[in-house]
Structure 1
Amino acid sequence: MEWGIVSLAGFLGGMLNAVAGGGSFITLPALIAVGVSPVSANTTGTAALLPGYIAGAWRFRHDIDFPAGLNMLFITWIALFGGTIGAAILLLTDEQLFSTLIPWLIFFAMMAFIAGPRLLRRKNTVTKNPGYDLYSSRKPSIAACLLLITVCIYGGYFNGGLGIVLLAALGLMGQTSLHSMNGIKNIISALLTMVAVAVYALGGAIAWNYLVLMSITAIAGGYFGAAFAYRVPQKIMHSFIALVGCLMSIVFFLR
């Protein structure tokens, strides 16, 4: 039963991450349900979803268009820096404190995801002014840098809802194509997750007995989810992810 739960959670988590994020909403409670401690469940789920991020990024590679003057090199350095800082903070966090923070972190991710489209529409209205060209700058703005670093630190610390928060951040930076946003989101997620997992491993915070199985199923879920995303209307995907996140937040508030 435990292996079945872990396998299904890995597949669904990888699929959700490739579609619009939120895979940790599935892997985190599944690992806790089979007896893994909250911090270890978070780190193990994060490590397991790494191959899914890579598979999803490869599937969306032709749609990627970097916003706000960003480029691959710049994003790489920010993701690695933020992921390292966030992972280090997690290893220094008390287990009980982290358990208390989980529902609030999920709630924050959901609010960002739900508010993202509305903020993006407002930004598009403002940018109709010919003199307003902040988001099409050829150089990364300070605001874009700070926003991305903050999100990467969050991803290294919790990872739950990381894809959702990244989508909201990319929307604020000027992205309008969900497929391009998903490609960039998966690249950033893979980079910061790689360095975060290295820090987790050094800190002895990974449940290795479940990691391999969940990683394999996450790869299958990541590729299937990326292909599936092309066939589903964006509004339906947003609504489904929002529903999953809200349900998980409620569950953890009631624990």
Structure 2
Amino acid sequence: MTELLLVAFAGVIAGAMNAMAGGGSFISLPALIAAGVPSTIANASSTVALFPGGLASVWAYRDGLRPIASVPVRTMAAVTVTGGLIGGLLLILTPSRAFDLILPWLLLTATLAIIFARQIGEALRRRFTLGAPVVLGVQFVLGLYGGYFGGAVGLMMLAAWGLLDGADPKSLNPPRTLMTSAANSAAILLFIVAGMVAWGPALALLLGALAGGYGGALVGRRLPAGVVRGFTIFITATTTLVFFYRAFA
């Protein structure tokens, strides 16, 4: 019972982080593993538990959906779902011990994306102009990553689309929420069918994330952007270091 309460509390923080800046899986995944859930099951359960919050964001943003580099939203979604399915299948086939060794590197990639995505996108835009044919290939890879792990995939999408489309990041938020949910929806169907979800902890996490998502949206409107970003970077960097120690120390 105590473990479920701690997981629910972690869900509150994860939901708040996703509402304010993203990176909620950096809280939910370690909480599930600390509760005794194997790492691959924990990753799948975290994806399932945080999914309803993503759907709520899609609904809130529905009026702002737009093509990316002239590629229709439906085409982008189809490619993302395909990538998510393959990524989810790869997670199912990955032994927990192997995932324990891969996970720190995934967390590091996500942390670097959170810290440097904007700068990298701006630097690339100054040097390259890429058109629509590249978009679907990039989106497939992002969908694959989202289905397999998904940490900071939304920020990676914004960085990639900023390079490919050149649009203001704020205008890309609606399609970002849709594509993130598309990758996750494909993966969670596989996780449920394959029995990869620890339902007790996942439901506790889900309830906490719903409460945290609502509260985080209210708080996020009042907190300075720099404070939110600094907190997110601190959490992601600390979690990454802990998992490197856990895997290799």
Question: For residue 109 of structure 2, what is the aligned residue in structure 1?
Answer: 108
C-alpha change, 1:6 and 1:213, in structure 2 (3 Å) is: same
Q: State the distance in 2 between where 1:226 and 1:114 align.
A: 21
- 1:164-214 superposed Cα distances (whole Å, 9 cap, x missing partner): 323332333335544433332221121221121110111111101122222
Q: Structure 1 residues 66-75 or 107-116, which shifts more?
A: 66-75
Q: Aligned match of 1:250 in 219, 234, 241?
A: 241
8 Å contact from structure 1 (residues 15, 23) kept in 2:
yes
Q: Under a length normalisation based on structure 2, what TM-score does the superposition of the two structures give?
A: 0.88
Q: 1:96 — aligned with what?
A: 97
Q: 1:207 to 1:6 in 2, by over 3 A?
A: same
SS at match of 1:173: helix
Q: Report the equivalent of 2:80.
A: 79
With over 3 angstroms needed to count, the CA separation of the structure-2 counterparts of 1:212 and 1:173, relative to structure 1, is same
**Is the 1:21–1:162 contact (alpha carbons within 8 Å) kept by the matching residues of 2?**
no
Which is further off, 232-241 or 90-99?
A: 232-241
> What does 1:36-75 correspond to in 2, within 5 Å?
36-75=37-76
Distance 2:71 2:138 in 1: 12
Whole-Å separation in 1 of the counterparts to 2:218 and 2:233: 20
Determine helix, strand or coil for the equivalent of 2:165: coil
Residue identity opposite 1:148 in structure 2: Q
1:187 paired residue among 171, 178, 195: 178
AA matched with 2:52: P
**1:153 is matched with which residue?**
144
Q: Supply the RMSD in Å over aligned alpha carbons.
A: 2.3
The Cα shift of 1:65 comes to 4.3
The alignment of Structure 1 onto Structure 2 pairs a total of residues equal to 245
State how far apart, in whole Å, the 1-side matches of 2:83 and 2:124 are: 26
C-alpha separation in 2, matches of 1:234 and 1:174: 24
- Cα deviation, 1:99-157, whole Å, max 9, x if unaligned, reads 11111100011222322111232245458xxxx6x46xxxxx22211111101101111
Identity %: 33
Matching residue of 2:159:
168
**Does residue 238 of structure 1 match 2:233?**
no
Distance in 1 (alpha carbons) for counterparts of 2:65 and 2:36: 39
Asked whether 1:15 is paired with 2:6, we answer no
Structure 2 residue matching 1:36: 3-state secondary structure: coil
Q: Which moved more, 1:118-127 or 1:145-154?
A: 118-127
Q: Secondary structure at the match of 1:35?
A: coil
Please tell me whether the aligned partners of residues 113 and 152 of structure 2 are also in contact (alpha carbons under 8 angstroms).
no
Which amino acid in structure 1 is aligned with residue 109 of structure 2?
F
Give how far 1:220 is off.
Answer: 2.7
Contact 1:22 1:163 in 2 (8 A): no
Q: TM-score, normalised by structure 1?
A: 0.86
Q: Provide the C-alpha distance between the structure 2 equivalents of 1:74 and 1:199, rounded to a whole number of angstroms.
A: 22
Relative distance call for 1:171 and 1:230 in structure 2 (3 A) is farther
Residues 34 and 59 from structure 1, CA distance in 2 versus in 1: closer, same or farther, beyond 3 angstroms?
A: same
Evaluate the alpha carbon distance shift between residue 236 and residue 175 of structure 1 in structure 2; reply closer, same or farther with a 3 A threshold. farther
- Give the superposition deviation at 1:218: 1.7
Q: Residue deviations 1:34-61, cap 9 Å, x none? A: 1111011000000000011112223334
Q: Which moved more, 1:237-246 or 1:177-186?
A: 177-186
